[in-house]
Structure 1
């Protein structure tokens, strides 16, 4: 291979890299972080529709980040409290949910994101939640749980240009964002504990 062939090959490689970079940053093709944020938007909106108050999004400290911190009534614990006329009534309190959102495209390797919530990840979330509670002692007496939301992201057949995902219908588990359809596949309450 001569020097002119080599320089032509190098310039072709550089051009291909520039095109690939330009394509990956285009609004039509959001990167993984953008896709994750879109999934978090869908879950936060869904939680609000369920009556939960979103206290924080992407709360972080030196130990890690919690995607969503929400405060609300936990219907399951209300049902499990038993009869309201019991001689030992339990005062109604709110539940603090620390939500880990995993947004995945079809054909992922980690069971829709569930395998990414390893014991190491759980320990980091637990530490981060403890630090959060130390900064908010007013919330420390609420019951707490760790939830996992699995969101599927796939190309949409609709040709929309909008990036922020408004829900397509009230109480829906779907949202359109750009050229993507996001679906809340599964919301796992109390997915893990210490």
Structure 2
């Protein structure tokens, strides 16, 4: 369990995180809309960053060159991976958004309550909730209406939603995503 207690739920079980399906279709295809992610705006102010570490978590930043981990608190989460082509689940789930990139060493699975959130699990095949121990971590479950790629990596990672104002590093990032915000004592 990635115990919701930590993440602020009882179980990060999709039921816990409140998701029905996190199916690639949801989390990576249709919409990753901020409304979906459970916020009115995962805007920088909320998501913890003033600016996701970039000037703008705008497509240029998050979808073009680098949503550099340095900004988002990682080493390299190259846009190629989290971006358009790669955010094609292969990148965001397997190689690039690999635990190493997303800071798994730091936010190691041990912290998040898992032994390994191996790319295979969080990736395509395994992120089939079977790996994460859920049925589906669908956006609806995670509290999102849509976590579609259009939002996160394709047409718009719209600054409004996940973008500038609301996705602030303070919230999602350093201070707030400091488990206190996300409701965890430990991530």
| Higher normalized helix content (fraction of residues) | 1
Which of the five TM-score ranges fits, normalised by the shorter chain?
under 0.3
Q: TM-score, normalised by structure 2?
A: 0.23
| Higher normalized strand content (fraction of residues) | 1
Q: TM-score, normalised by structure 1?
A: 0.23
